[in-house]
Amino acid sequence: MRCHTYTDHAAALQFITEVGYPVVVKPDSGSGANFTYKVKNEFEFENVLKNKHFHDADFIIEEFVDGIILTYDGLVDRFGNVVFETGHRFEQSIMNVVNMNDHLYYICLPKIADKVRIAGRNILKAFDVREKFFHIELFERRSDGEIVALEVNMRPPGAWMPDAINYSYDINVYRKWASMVVKNIVYDQPDGKYFTGYASRKNHKQYQYNHDQIINQFNGTILYYNKIENVFSRAMGDFAYQFRANTFEEVKDIINFIQKE
């Protein structure tokens, strides 16, 4: 995906001319899609530049990609070998979730597609990553299914995603990381057993089913639920549930039940 670090107005407009509208404008340092905007024309671009969060701050302009986000997450040892790998599927645009104050869902997958593995490992090799957690975000383009690189993070995935990994694989991913770093002990890649879902709710929305109905409907399937800290709630929801099931379809049914308005 082509991107441009904002240096001056003329250079930014030249980049936009090359890639065409829409583009995405966002801070160069940030998380959770805060202050991230899809810009459809020059009038909107000029208005975004007036946002106080972009004054005297570094920001970037990205080519817009229409797709879902597939992550490549795991551990790489001191020799650059991937010793654990998994992935998550985000079918919503996090940017839209934040800007529209919507609820969010995502799913931890027990298996990852070969194209995600190949792209992720090529990125790790290019950056010569060693002895770290990694969290790589990729677009799967809707038009042709091709993988487009979005973001590279040399850290564990955020929020409740490490817990989702543990639930999907019946492991303790932090213990795996500590054994790798402290003792150089590497375990075999475990088989994924479950699809683990995350579904949040927003306080301003009216939902069809209340909390007790959700727990009663999915007794034994809901693994955890809690309020979300205010600092994260714009992207992650005000209240969230984590759950697992044997199939993707079962997890989607639970998500739809929790978020039905």
**CATH label of the domain that carries residue 235:** 3.30.470.20
Does the pLDDT of residue 31 top 60, yes or no? no
Rounded-to-integer distance, Cα 172 and Cα 181, Å: 15
Domain span at 236: 67-259
Claim to verify: residue 248 and residue 176 sit in the same structural domain: yes
pLDDT tens, residue by residue, 41-78: 999 999 888 876 677 678 889 999 999 999 999 999 99
Average pLDDT over residues 81-95: 95
* pLDDT at residue 155, as a whole number: 95
Does the pLDDT of residue 9 top 60, yes or no? yes
Rounded-to-integer distance, Cα 156 and Cα 172, Å: 13
Claim to verify: residue 118 and residue 219 sit in the same structural domain: yes
Mean pLDDT rounded to a whole number for the chain: 93
Does the pLDDT of residue 103 top 90, yes or no? yes
Claim to verify: residue 77 and residue 117 sit in the same structural domain: yes
Q: How many domains does the chain have?
A: 2
Claim to verify: residue 161 and residue 201 sit in the same structural domain: yes
Q: How confident is the model at residue 15 (pLDDT cuts 50, 70, 90)?
A: very high
Percent of the chain clearing pLDDT 70 (strictly above): 96
Does the pLDDT of residue 1 top 80, yes or no? no
Top-confidence residue, 205 or 220: 205
Q: How confident is the model at residue 99 (pLDDT cuts 50, 70, 90)?
A: confident
**What is the number of other CB atoms lying within 10 angstroms of the CB of residue 53?**
13
Claim to verify: residue 158 and residue 40 sit in the same structural domain: no
Claim to verify: residue 74 and residue 198 sit in the same structural domain: yes
Rounded-to-integer distance, Cα 79 and Cα 193, Å: 28
Claim to verify: residue 189 and residue 79 sit in the same structural domain: yes
* pLDDT at residue 163, as a whole number: 97
Claim to verify: residue 174 and residue 109 sit in the same structural domain: yes
Question: What residues are paired with 135 via a beta bridge?
Answer: 73, 153
Claim to verify: residue 127 and residue 58 sit in the same structural domain: no
pLDDT tens, residue by residue, 158-195: 989 999 999 999 999 999 999 999 999 988 999 999 99
CATH of the domain at 53: 3.30.1490.20
Cα 105 to Cα 16, 109, 150, 249, distances in angstroms? 31, 13, 19, 14
